Structure 1
Amino acid sequence: MELPKVVGRFIETQNNYDSKAYTDCFTVTAIVHDEGRIHNGKEEIRQWIEHANEIYRSSMEPLNYEQSGSNGVLTSKVSGTFPGSPIVLKFHLEFKNELIASLKVTG
């Protein structure tokens, strides 16, 4: 499956639990929607992913990727230390200047 560079980095940095490199995949003003919460900007995104990495130790296995214009949907099997693991999640991505401007995680 062919992935944009930033999506490949997004997956790799998640699987390596590298919060700094993960955050670098996002624009300065990026927004993340996950588990009913909104995280605005790189600092809040870094705090969110560090917390999630500590609690869930999740890794992603990409199953499918579709892109239309500046939007993409990554479907991944996500495994970790959370109830119901593994699960399939969709990562709805919006890109700006080859970085992630918006991420919404859905089940």
Structure 2
Amino acid sequence: MDMPESVKAYFDAERRNDPDALVAAFAAGAAVRDEGAVHEGIPAIRSWWVAAKKKTHHVTAPIEMSGSGDKVSVCALVSGDFPNSPVTLDFAFTLEQGKIVELEIG
């Protein structure tokens, strides 16, 4: 799948369980919207992701991508220690200057 570099970096870091590489894909003032909460800034995004991994031990596998330019959506299969696993979720990325500025998961 031919994804923008920062989106590819996000999913690669997810797969490797690498929080430092994951947050490196985001711009400094980025925001993540997940499960009704907003996590703004690199420290908050890192804390959100580390807590989610610890709680659910989830694995995310991209299935398909749509969009181009600064708006890209990736449909991914997410499995882990949570009810109804696995689920298919949409990861909607907004990009600026090669970095993720917004990610909405739903």
The answer to whether TM tops 0.5 is yes
AA partner of residue 85 (structure 1)? S
TM-score of the aligned structures, taking structure 1 as reference length: 0.95
User: Identity of paired residues, percent?
Assistant: 29
How many residue pairs get aligned? The number is: 106
Is there any run of 5+ residues in structure 2 with no aligned partner, and where?
none
Give how far 1:5 is off.
Answer: 1.4
Give how far 1:39 is off.
Answer: 0.4
In 1: Cα distance, 2:32 partner to 2:46 partner: 11
Residue 65 of structure 2 corresponds to which residue in structure 1?
A: 65
Give how far 1:32 is off.
Answer: 0.5
RMSD over aligned Cα atoms: 0.9
AA partner of residue 87 (structure 1)? V
Q: What are the within-5 Å matches in structure 2 for residues 80-95 of structure 1?
A: 80-95=80-95
Point out 4+ residue stretches in structure 1 off by more than 3 angstroms. Answer: none
1:22 match: secondary structure: helix
Is there any run of 5+ residues in structure 1 with no aligned partner, and where?
none
In 1: Cα distance, 2:25 partner to 2:59 partner: 17
2:3 match: secondary structure: coil
In 2: Cα distance, 1:51 partner to 1:77 partner: 19
